[in-house]
Structure 1
Amino acid sequence: MVSRTPTKPPPSPRPGASGCVTPSKPKPSPVARRRQALRRWSATKRRGSPLKSLASAPAAAAATFNRSLRSCRRRLLKLFARLAVLGSPRKRRAAAAGFQRLRSSSPPPPPPPPQHPPVRAQSAALPLPPSPGRRTLFLDLDETLIHSQTDPPPARFDFTVRPVIGGQAITFYVSKRPGVEAFLRAAADSFEVVVFTAGLQEYASLVLDRLDPDGTVFAHRLYRGACRNAGDGRLVKDLAATGRALDLAVIVDDNPNAYALQPENAVPVAPFVDDDNDQELQRVLAFLDVAAGFDDTREAIRYYKDLITAS
């Protein structure tokens, strides 16, 4: 027999009961999704986008620069205010006194040495000779009686001198020409010996002191200041300016420019550097013995030069 009792619907699940399935939320409609997207875009715009932040960076930098400029202006105003106070007479005197104390406490810097040492002018005029009619022998120094050089030192030299030239001490290594001592002693017996050099006095005087330590050979010393400037850098030794008679004068020099004004009074010699077998001074001494027999030394020189040319 079939029951006619209607079938009961299944009981609805209780909330929180285990094993129950939670029904899923219904999907939003397209209109709802558009509204949510619009709300998110509005919130992002209010916060500020990265592009907007980058666009506002120059304005921030300009504001920082303006603040720095205003601060610099305030500092300059304070500085000018202090200078205005120092500009008063009393403040100026105080500042000057402080400067004087500062300047006196620190020694002044030494003056720089001159690039070219000044040449002291020297008159070529000599005192009257002690014996009237005595012949005068003018001798050059460098490359005639000696040879000298600065560093590096040569392999052989006889002595050194250290003059101060232009504020600086310089060492010269000096080599004597072979036979120079005997030549000077023999020449001083018959002639008034005068050194006439284009070298600086600071240097040449020290060398001459070594060649004539007793002061018995050189009657007078003439240095660069007694030379005449030819205008092109050449230094000329004018024998006529010395006050000696040209017919009683002889000059021995290795440089033809030196005796350009009186070549007839010159006995040329070869320049000396370092030849240990050099015989130039012995040859000049032989000429001096011959010249003693002539009334005019220029005739003796002319005769001597003719002999050299013929040989």
Structure 2
Amino acid sequence: MLSDKQKPIRRQHRFHHKRRRFPVKKIKSITVIASIKKSIVKCRHHLTKFLSELARIVTPSCHLKGFEILGQEEKTQFEPNNVNIGPRLQLEFETSFVPPVLVSHRNLLPPLGSDKKGTIVLDLDETLVHSSLDPPPSRYDFSVSRIMDGVTINFYVLKRPGVDEFLEMISKKYEVVVFTAGHEAYASKVLDTIDPKGFILHRFYRDSCKHVRGKFVKDLSEMGRNLRKIVIVDDNPKSFALQPENGIPIKPFFGDELWDRELMKLAGFFERCDVFQDMRDAVKQYLEGAKD
């Protein structure tokens, strides 16, 4: 039994250990602050997603390595079986062998009327045109727009000198195809503008590229054409890394070369190279002459 002197002391001890409660106003303030922080994080996420998508609309330019880096899980090494065949056939075997996990699409073109007719595959950005975003540059030929997440994005397009004449000239002898790593929503509008007469017979976009070792690659072996009769022109050689003998790297066009003659030089080359049984031999001769 406690004495009377101890009872007040005990009651006072219990009083000091009662749980303190925050005022209602303070609890509301904490809730509001947490809600604001959550909104900021959400807005930041949407902004990052928007800017990332914007940066990927057009073809990545070659001075930025030309390709997007994919996740580590996309990087797959592969090697063909060791077969004792000739050097050219060995190269075709190596470059055309791709495991099923790397194949996203089969870009088979419709049959040609003649097996002797060649096919020219052209890149778009920095090869045929140069595009830039707002603010408008001092010089451009036309503009196209794309709505993304409710925002209108404007692209100001400058045609490479001689592109109109080039397309018309090569279309007389060859099947002309454009293969770009740009999105269809952007690239299709550009192609509709630069090719009103329909010299370009077929178009392929980013979703037709193949992901190989973290890069966008254009695989010519899936286009339904004999590799002896097909040539690709691109400002980034990495895009035709699977068939390097079929590729002609062209000087990138950034819009500041007023007297650029690269397309006209190519037009002259294509005018003559149809006499070759294998267009890869013509490409080799052209590149060796360019070095000299």
Q: TM-score, normalised by structure 1?
A: 0.60
The residue aligned with 2:240 is: 259
Contact 2:171–2:199, Cα closer than 8 Å, also in 1:
yes
> What residue is the counterpart of 2:72 in the other structure?
none
Question: How well do the aligned residues superpose, as a CA RMSD in angstroms?
Answer: 2.8
Aligned equivalent of 1:143: 126
Secondary structure of residue in 1 paired with 2:165: helix
1:149 positional shift: 0.8
> Is residue 188 of structure 1 aligned with residue 188 of structure 2?
no
Name the SS for the 2:124 alignment partner: coil
Q: Secondary structure at the match of 2:225?
A: coil
Q: Which amino acid aligns with 1:295?
A: Q
Report if aligned partners of 1:136, 1:248 keep a CA contact under 8 Å in 2. Answer: yes
1:271 & 1:242 partners in 2: Cα distance? 25
Q: Tell me the equivalent position of 1:198.
A: 181
Q: Hey, what's the Cα distance between the residues in 2 that align with 1:208 and 1:279?
A: 21
Residue deviations 1:180-236, cap 9 Å, x none? 00000001001100000000000000000001123x21110000001011232x210
Is the 2:170–2:271 Cα contact (8 Å) retained in structure 1? no
Indicate conservation of the 8 Å contact 2:120/2:174, yes or no.
yes
CA, structure 1 residues 174+226, in 2 after alignment: closer, same or farther (shift >3 Å)?
Answer: same
- Taking the aligned partners of 1:138 and 1:278, their CA distance within structure 2 comes to 20
In structure 2, the residue matched to 1:248 is: 229
Deviation, structure 1 residue 168: 3.2
Aligned length: 204
* Partner Cα distance (1:131, 1:151) in 2: 46
- The residue aligned with 1:295 is 277
Match of 1:157 in 2: 140
Indicate the percent of aligned positions where both proteins have the same amino acid.
43
Q: Secondary structure at the match of 2:254?
A: coil
CA contact (8 A) 1:162 1:169 kept: yes
**3-state DSSP class of the match of 1:210?**
helix
Q: How does 1:1-311 map to 2 (within 5 A)?
A: 115=50, 123-214=106-197, 216-232=198-214, 234-274=215-255, 275-309=257-291, 311=292
Per-residue CA distance 1:130-163 (angstroms, 9 max, x = gap): 3332100000000000000111211100000002
Q: Post-superposition shift, 1:126?
A: 1.7
Structure 2 SS opposite 1:154: coil
**Which residue identity lines up with residue 123 of structure 2 in the other structure?**
D
**CA 1:133/1:165 → structure 2, altered by over 3 Å: closer, same or farther?**
farther
**2-structure distance, mates of 1:231, 1:217:** 34
- Aligned residue identity for 1:287: F
Residue identity opposite 2:109 in structure 1: L
Secondary structure of the residue aligned to 2:115 is coil
CA contact (8 A) 1:164 1:202 kept: no
Q: Give 3-state SS (helix, strand or coil) of 1:258's partner.
A: helix
SS in 2 for 1:172: strand
Q: CA deviation at 1:167?
A: 4.6
- Note the residue ranges of structure 1 that are not aligned, 5 or more in a row: 1-58, 63-68, 70-111
Structure 2 alignment gaps of length 5 or more: 1-11, 16-20, 22-45, 58-103
- Which residue identity does 2:280 align to in structure 1? R
Residues 1:132 and 1:164: Cα distance change in structure 2 (over 3 Å): farther
